[in-house]
Each structure stands twice: as structure tokens, then as C-alpha cells.
Amino acid sequence: MSTYKFFNRDLSWLSFNNRVLDEARNKNLPLYERIKFLAIYSSNLDEFYRIRVASYQRFTELPVEDKLQLRENPDLTLKKIKQQVNKQQLEFGKIFTKEIIPELLENNIVLMQGEKLSEEHYEYTKEFFLDNLLPHMQPMLLLKKQIQPFLKNNAIYLAVKLYKKRGKKDNPDKPRRAKYAIVRIPNNRFDRFVELPSVNDKHQIMFLDDIVKLHIKVVFPGFKIDSTYSFKMSRDADFLIEDEYSGNIMHMIERNLKKRETGDPSRFLYDENIPRDFLNLLKLAFNLTNTELVKGARYHNFQDFFMFPNPAGPELEDSPFHALKVKELGQSKSMFKAIRKRDILLHYPYQSYEYVIRFLNEAAIDPKVEEIKATQYRVAKNSAVVNALINAALNGKKVTVLVELKARFDEEANMNSARAMTKAGVKIIYSLPGLKVHAKIALVIRKEDKEDYAYLSTGNFNEKTARIYADHGLFTSNEATISELKLLFNYLEDQKTECEFNKLLIGQFNMRDKFLNKIDREIKHVENGKKGHLILKMNGLQERQMIKKLYEASTKGVKIDLIIRGICCLIPNKPYSKNIRIIRIVDQFLEHARVFYFHNNGENEVYLSSADWMSRNLHRRIECAFPIEPPKLKQELIDILNIQLKDNTNGRIINEKLENIKPKIDIGEQVNRAQKDIFRYIKEKELAKKSKI
């Protein structure tokens, strides 16, 4: 059908980030949780400008004839992005100034923003500035026809307008000519927030920026300060490794990482109160275009609010979350023996991630284990996973790890862990040319036949993010799964290996076609007078062939429930999408799992996967989707999906205008909050297990 339409992926993403901002308005949350969502919104937006907006800006430089070949006009898209961001930034400012600041004050926390200081506090800040900050102040004058200073990515600067003080011999009637300078705020060396001495049980906190502003005259002796305004530069952080590149990929990435911090400007965020002539001077000084100029408020880098001090106590924060233990694993002395009895499905962060570490540690010391294979995409700092693999190698096991060096913003961390593992004797396979390996899989091979074990997951091998990312992981000894995982690892080691997958759906092999076939099967069931139903949960849905197939299924009468956290290019409420509902859940934990349910005429199929339905996942990555076959485990996942579909507290329905619509709750209707309800559901199942002991 040629009339199918699609949301722009980046405007859709802005809708998601607006939903994050919406949580900062949520007065049912503890105050510091709301502050955290402001920080998440800001951090998200910074990355968006460094990657996505930077890409559009490169497209705007193309010749007109080349622009016509693009699917969308980059200039028009940038204009729409700017409109949406400006609108959201205004809302951000209202939430911060009209809600967060007053509520901090109600809790005796005063965030100072230019208020006149008491003499005690003034002297405290002066001493702090002279003792700590002044040695790191490096003022730079902006002079015409001279090389201008380089602005570091995401650093905060003050633009300073100043005049030379008049000498005794100067003519007092002669107009003074303004000079201009910039000074970097040294928040790379000091905390962004400084706690002042408490007075009358009130906790005063001050931005580092304001301490610099207050005492900046010390930096410019002989000058009178006229005004100061903050700004920051975001730089293009995207770099591409050519698909055909076959040299030392680690050296190539190291070289590109150095370029990341010197990339072209993607956003120049400035204080909206700066006079137009001053802004134009900065624009000229740093060779900026109007497209790169983005109006902001007095303060930037709100991601620093992740570390905002809390002198009032833990009652302003969420209660600590304690992950549940798993009965069959807790009772068993051996992970392998427990997995041998039955497949074990875990749900993070509701259940403890320690079992994954225990699984790898047991493999490291088990004398029957010959070999361990695993993939690494994003691991934790001082990773327990990496330590377990190193211990296995030191214990004489053959350990092979595919380290994806092209995991954006984790390249350096992955290189460091690869070097540490190599030193211990681990065989490292680096990124494949033209592909990212995004599958989250581990394989333990033992001496005896038919005693091998696997772990497959929707999330990374990262014990720290497993506390805040909602994912699923499967331990299994299923022979067919093990056999196909061995085949996949053989391919990762040698791309000449011929592969045929039946049980697993593997990106670059059979994943996309298999998913399309399963949707076609639902269509045929409806055409034969039977029920057709899909529940598809992903982080992102953008690949057009998949969306077209969902549109087709909708027109044929298949009921489709989508749970999409982020980008969703499918437009609901159109004639061709009338049977499609889109739910977005933003809550305490980041929804990260990919779950695919196919009704299949009552013979339900459920797959877990590392892959979203984005072009990158289905065309340029090695991904893995795996079936959940034991009926009880399958029903668990179906129950969890249905709990999420009923969320009328943190769930939102996405409409045809990309708005996040909160479901109406009728009088007497049950209030549902999926993440709380899922935790309760899993806890009750664990208690039921214990009662049978």
C-alpha cells in the first residue's frame, strides 16, 4: 500500500524524551527521583545532539541534487527538531524553577541562584575560590583576526564582557571600548555543587558556576566586569569505521576516539538572556551557524544533577531496592545441576544478577569445563563478568570472548577490558568488519557430551546496569540451542563458516525473514476465521519493512499490542493501523527487554531477543532471538506482558500526534503500575515455591 506513512525517527525519540521529562513533573515521586529524571532528560538530549543532530547537519552540507535522494529534507527536520527542543526546554525550565526549587526550599534545601549572600557565606565562597578554583582559571580574550580558543565538548564556559579600568590620566569623558573573554568553569576537577555552611537548619547549596561569577573580578585584575553569560558546546561524537576496513581495528578506534572530542559543533547552547550583539560576537568568534545556536537557560549540563547533594536525608529519595533470590538456585550447590533439571528464566532487576556471576565463576573452577565463549558489548567498570572470564583462563580453561569495540561511548572501556583479558590468556575476537555483534550470549562447554550450558539475555553482561535495566535472562542446557550457539560462535571466529539456524533467530541470517513469516502466519489465521494477536515489546521500532508488515496485519484484522519505550515510527489511529495500540512505559527502571509474542492459533510462541526492529539491528548487527519453550516460563512472560499492557499509572498511549496520553482511570477501576506489579507477581511466585518445600 503506497499511502503508508511513518513518524520521523528523531521526532519520535523527542517524544520519548518528553515522556522522561514528564516524570520530573510527577509529584507522586520522591523529590530526588524527580531531579534524577531532569538529569536523565538532559543527558539524553546531549547525546541526541552529538549523534543524531550532528548527522543531519552533515546532510545539510550536501549538494541540492544529493539532498533530493534522501528520504527526508534535513533542513526541514532540523527546524522541526529545534521547535520541539525549544518547547521542551521551556517546560524543563518551568519544572525546575516553579516546582523543584520551591520543593527543595520546603525541605530546608536552598539552591542559591544569584541571591545576595550573607557575609559568612561570601567569605566562605571567596576562600573556596581562591584556594581551589583560581589556580584552574584560564581566561582567554577574544581578539579579532587571531586564532580563537578551542571549546571543549560539553564543558561549561562563561562569556565575559569587561572594560579596562580608567587610570588617573585617562579622560573620563572618552568612551571605553568593551573587551570580551571566556573562562571555563572547572567542574571537570570539582563537584558542580558546593554546600555552604548551614544557617538556621537551612542547607545552602551553590552552583560552582555562580561561585566563579561572584569572584571573577579576581581573574581580570585591572578590568571592570560588565556582565557574564554561560554557554557550552556539544560536538559531533559519531565516527564510522569503514565496512571494508580490515586493518588493526583497535588502532583505528583509538585514533577516532581522539577525534570525537574535537568534532564539528552540533549545538551551541547559550543563556537566553545574553544580548543579541554579544551572541553574534560569539557566533563569529567560533564560526557558528544559526542552526547550531540553541537557546538555553542560565545553567547547562543538568546531567550533573545525578550528583546533587542531599543533606536532608533518604526520605527524599526512592527506598533502596532489594532484588529477590531464586529458590531453585539458592538451594542448589551447583548452578549446572539446577540448570540441568530445567531451564531457568530470570527477570532483572526484580531478581538478583548474582546468578550470572555465579554461573561464570562456577565454570571457571569446574574441572570438567573445557571452554567458555561469550560476547561483550557493554560491561561494568571493574567488571565481575570480566574477572570471572580472566579467572577461567588463569585456571587453564580455553576462553574466547567477542569484544565489540564499536559499542558507542564504551569503546575505550571495551578496549581496556580486552587488553586485561588478553594478558590473562583469553582469546579475543575483535569487531567484525561491517557488523556490530550485539547478541548477549555465553556458552560453557564441558568434557562429557551433552553436558554443556548456555546463558542468553536481552541485556548486557553488566552487573551494575542490571540493577536499573529491566531485562530477562535464560539459563539452559537445551541441546538444540547449545548446538546452534556453537555454530554462531564458530562463525564469529571465522566468517567463512557456513551456518543454518532453525531454533535461534540470528541477525544477518534468518531473523528478519522469520519474524515476517510469523506475522504472515497470524494474518493467515485471521483470514481463516481464527484469532490473530501479536504483542511486541522493544526499545525501538523503525525498520520500514517490518512496520509495513504490521500495517498489513492490522488491515487484515490481527490485533497488535506494541510496548515501545523509545523510537516508534509506526503511526497509530490510521485506517491501516486501526488494530494497533502503542504503549510506552517510563518508570523507576529502564525498560530494556525485547519480547515477541505470537498467538499462533493458541499454540503461543514467545521469543526473547537482543534486537529491536531498527534498521541497524536487522541489517548491520549480529543479534540473537531465542524461544522460551517450557510452558510455565512462557506463561510467566505472557503474564508480565499483560501486566505491562494494563499499566495506567506510568504507561502512556502514543497517539497519531506523537503525544504521550495517560490512560483514564474510571471510578472504582484498579490502579496498575507495571513495575511494582511485576515485582509483586515474581515475589508471590517465589513465595509459592518456598511453601512447597
Report residue 672 as a C-alpha cell: 496498575
CB distance 161 to 278 below 8 Å? yes
Rounded CA-CA distance 16/568 in Å is 9
Q: Look at phi and psi of residue 399 and say left if phi exceeds 0, alpha if psi is from -120 to 50, else beta.
A: beta
Active-site residue, from 438, 525, 592, 599: 438
Strands 590-591, 469-476: parallel, antiparallel or unpaired by DSSP? parallel
Task: Compute and round to an integer the Cα radius of gyration of the chain.
Answer: 28
Unique residue bearing C-alpha cell 556453537: 486
SS3 call for 245? coil
438 is catalytic: yes
Helix (H) or strand (E) holding 562: strand 559-564
Rounded CA-CA distance 206/196 in Å is 7
Contacts 24+ apart (CB under 8 A), 334-342: 334/362, 335/359, 335/362, 335/453, 335/475, 336/362, 336/366, 336/444, 336/451, 336/453, 338/475, 339/453, 339/475, 339/476, 339/477, 340/451, 340/477, 342/630
Residues in the chain: 693
Rounded CA-CA distance 313/318 in Å is 11
The residue type at 194: V
Phi first, then psi, for residue 216 (nearest 5°) are -65, -20
Rounded CA-CA distance 522/375 in Å is 33
Helix (H) or strand (E) holding 537: strand 533-538
Kindly give, in sequence order, each residue whose CB lies less than 8 Å from that of residue 194, ignoring residues fewer than 6 positions away.
Answer: 125, 128, 205, 206, 207, 208, 211
Rounded CA-CA distance 587/14 in Å is 17
Report residue 271 as a C-alpha cell: 543563556
Cis peptide upstream of residue 139 (ω within 30 degrees of 0): no
Rounded CA-CA distance 688/665 in Å is 31
- By annotation, the residues acting in catalysis are 438
